[in-house]
Amino acid sequence: MADRALCIHGHFYQPPREDPFTGLIPTETGASPYHNWNERIQAECYRPNAELGNFARISFNLGPTLCAWMQSHDPQVVWQIIAQDRTNLDRHGVGNAIAQAYNHTILPLATRRDKDTQVAWGIAAFENTFGHKPQGLWLPETGVDVETLSVLAEHGIEYTILAPWQADASTLSVPFDPTEPYRVYLPQGSSIAVFFYHRELSTMVSFSPQATTNADVFVQTEILTRFSPEKSQRGESQILLIATDGELYGHHQAFRDHFLAHLVNGASTNVGIDKTYPALWLRSHPPQRSISIHEKTSWSCHHGVLRWMGECGCTPEYGAWKAYLRRAFDRLAASLDRVYVETAGSFVHDPWALRNDYIHVILGNLQVDDLIGSAAGHRLVEEDYRKVRLLLEAQHERQRMYTSCGWYFDDFSRIEPKNNVAYAAQAVWLTRLATGIDLGPQTAADLSHVISQRTGGRGDRVFRRKLQRVERK
């Protein structure tokens, strides 16, 4: 009998809500009776799903910046989540948790070096939390291009999950079939497996609460009917993968934590549907076919990745500022990199490897001077340590300023884009402290084109305010 399996993937993520200067989350009135949204989502989603054991029965990624917050706020829930992945690892040799690119950067819009750092940092953070290597990695907004997949493969990642419209089916000799994973062949002879999620089912679970009130009914009417009888007759296995924003289970939609629990541990298993996750499925069902992907596409913009770089139908009215913000940051990033390589490069052989290894400092597992000293191969004088230290901090801020949430919404006058501008201001300030080079005027000039059409708020004014605040620190 051919396998018929169901897999739910939950993408668990929150943009960093901390004030970039204090590191604390301000009181958020909308989150009442809780102090802020993280606390509210913790109570409505993370904690109940952990207590129900759901993290053992689905595929999931837990955003590293969210995970760091949870570890300080409510570590017990993180331990439960880790233990639930561990049960699978012990039983099957592969876990069900997967990594995520560290700062939720739209990777197809990032330089190759940034892709490399984001993936290296995401893997290191995953290993630090879960204690083993990840097989899979979640691409923020499922943003993909061939270069991104190549970087994943270079880092030993075996698979990712994409939307079905990201598959380029024109290269197939048979109809595209999302009930099986595909292999994507990459330049330099490597390859990676891709699971494409089921479009209708994922949309239904995400956006049609009336369809998910009863898991038994859902399985009978929606799941069972979507397996192909022809494939079953031919003895071919099938997996239905439903990819969702994990916070819908209990937070966006009340009681769906219980729906999820019964769906994967009762409603589906009672009728002979296995529950699985991609790493486990791949062990006995390697891809039989290869496919290409559509370059620069994502799951939450139907205009490729335009949502994070300009005006598109997703945020039609007020999107003009997005292109200017990205252009300003790209120019700042190039300048920061030039200063970093010129300065750090005179002490260490490979400043990019040093930047990748800096994650161990961010995670608190390594003293920064020990890292710098070992990269240099000898001890430096204090002044040189200081310079490299500050420039590494600037590189961290430079990664944070690309957090995708800064471009997701329609308006510039929101906390997410302003936080990204604050990270940029911190990078500029740290670079000035380290080297005396002032990238502020250029950045302010570039950001003067970033204008909120709703409030008239301007990027350069926000930038100057943030810079003044950090200078007073």
Question: Which residue(s) pair with 162 in the sheet?
Answer: 196
Closest distance of CB 471 from Zn ion, Å: 37
Among residues 215, 324, 245, 192, the alpha carbon closest in space to that of 13 is found at 245
Closest distance of CB 247 from Zn ion, Å: 21
Cis peptide before 48 (omega within 30 of 0): no
Closest distance of CB 163 from Zn ion, Å: 13
Number of residues lying near Zn ion (CB under 5 A): 5
Q: Could you tell me the two tokens for 104?
A: 């939720």
Exposure class string for 50-81: b at 16+ Cβ within 10 A, else e? bebebbbbbbbbbbbbbbbbbeeebeebbebb
| Element of type H or E holding 194 | strand 191-196
Nearer of residues 130 and 407 to Zn ion, judged by Cβ: 407
Q: Would you count residue 183 as binding Zn ion (CB under 5 A)?
A: no
Q: Could you tell me the two tokens for 390?
A: 């500050």
DSSP3 helix / strand / coil % (the chain, rounded to 5) = 55, 10, 35
Amino acid at 96: N
Nearer of residues 312 and 437 to Zn ion, judged by Cβ: 312
Closest distance of CB 104 from Zn ion, Å: 17
Among residues 228, 333, 275, the alpha carbon closest in space to that of 54 is found at 275
Subset of 279-318 contacting Zn ion (CB under 5 A): 301, 303, 307, 312, 314
Nearer of residues 256 and 296 to Zn ion, judged by Cβ: 296
Nearer of residues 285 and 307 to Zn ion, judged by Cβ: 307
Q: Could you tell me the two tokens for 256?
A: 């769906």
Nearer of residues 164 and 310 to Zn ion, judged by Cβ: 310
| Element of type H or E holding 362 | helix 359-362
Closest distance of CB 462 from Zn ion, Å: 24
Nearer of residues 309 and 391 to Zn ion, judged by Cβ: 309
Count of beta carbons in the 10 Å neighbourhood of residue 302: 14
Question: Which residue(s) pair with 167 in the sheet?
Answer: 293
Closest distance of CB 454 from Zn ion, Å: 19
Nearer of residues 143 and 246 to Zn ion, judged by Cβ: 143
Q: Which residue, chain included where needed, has tokens 């009215």? A: 317
DSSP state of 146: H
Q: In the complex, which residues of this chain contact Zn ion (CB under 5 A)?
A: 301, 303, 307, 312, 314
